Chains A and B, each alone.
Chain A
Amino acid sequence: MDYITLIQLLDSTVRFATPLLLACLAGLFSERAGIFDIGLEGKMLAAAFFTAAVAFLTGSAWVGLLGGIAASLVLAAIHGVASITFRGNQLISGVAINLLAAGMTVLVAQDWFRQGGRTPGLTGDARFEGITLPGAAAVADVPVIGPLYAELISGHSILVYIAFLAVPLTWWVLFRTRFGLRLRAVGENPAAVDTAGVSVVGLRYAAVLIAGVLCGLAGAYLSTALQAGFVKDMSAGRGFIALAALIFAKWRPWYALWATLLFGLFGALETRPDVIEAVIGLKVPGPLLGGLPYVMTVIILAGFVGKAIPPRAGGAPYVKER
């Protein structure tokens, strides 16, 4: 495998990883606050649709993004009401949200656009185009660094940079701010937060809504940056992979980055059977190639990642009075 191929592979890795990363960080906020979120998939899907729909109607990707985030927030709020206010089962709520998004997006799309559950194609400002970073063209011909900068680092959509910046930002918020301290505490021992005079409910809603915003970005990236419009079910299980990455990352922001990049790399490798063949010297039959990333994940989990301990109060509603 030559250098250029490597760069291309990594470039593809970044694109695959971006929605996973955003969703993974969304899950991180929610679960660090003690609310399990298997509804990442649904929120992402809803955001993908509404971003594309609003972007089409207004002609602006940014306005679309707001629409997508709003849609994701509505689902997040439902999850909050069910699992925080009414202390419902967080897993059921997540399952319901995934189904709701899968059905609603197509239903609304059909009602609005009559194109069989998709949005019309987006062009121009209704899409997030790649950004060429300053100097990319100038250094492109410099050996080694040039392609790295011009091909791999430059040229992605703004949402990619937001996603990657969200990692240190998440770390900073969680570990360097008052809000982060309280948020982590509420996922470990809500009673400690409550008796310290801080609202458990308020914190958990905040976390769930932040998750909504991040899923909104993830969905928007799918339909307006990677694609030029919404297609039904286009989240294609990425929410679940993000969840796996979250556990893999042991609920930590930097690990989340590496975990999603790893899954992204698996995705990228799957599109390059030639590279796999060159590296392992064996042709893998197509269908099995599709299963390879998952097998690798299991092997890594079994071999290298120890027990992942979730936030202690995770999944359980905070009940003071039995």
Chain B
Amino acid sequence: MVDDSLWTIFINASLVNNFVLAYFLGICPFLGVSAKLETASRMGGAVTFVMLVSSICAFGIQTLLVAIDAPYLKLIAFIAVIASTVQLVEMFIKKVSPALFRSLGIFLPLITTNCAILGLALFQTNKGYSFVQCIVYALGAGAGFTLALVLMAGLREKLELAEVPDVTRGTAMALMIAGLLSVTFMGFGGLGG
């Protein structure tokens, strides 16, 4: 029995419990692809899209697994579905829009090992969301991921030109910015409650 309103779900997934800054999901791409704004926003778009598709798939699988009473297959089924979803999406985009494929192409394989996608599937199952709630949850999570990534990219591009001390350069600084963003996002606590 989950009666969370769609708005609550969205705000929660994007701001209050931001996937990156509160749940630490998708940290690898967050640190890896956030150096340039352009790639960051594209990655955000790609992840949001895959999240949406795999969330729908995961919802179907969960329904199926409950029906055949095989909860132990959940993880394997999810990861298989996500991997193949990514493949299918890749093929689909390649066929439908080569331009989009060129801009997203290199990120799609990376997304398979993006824990945010699997995390989304697992969380939505744990929370027992309905179909519509799942879609909103996926959109919220994707928006939150993109927001965090884009903010991060802006700050990193700015600091690219800074005289950052040698010890801080690289991942350590990215983590510090992430920590500060995380502190900032704490201000959203209680929204959507």
A and B co-occur in one complex: no
Residues of chain A having any CB pair with chain B under 8 Å: none
Binding site for A on B (CB under 8 A): none
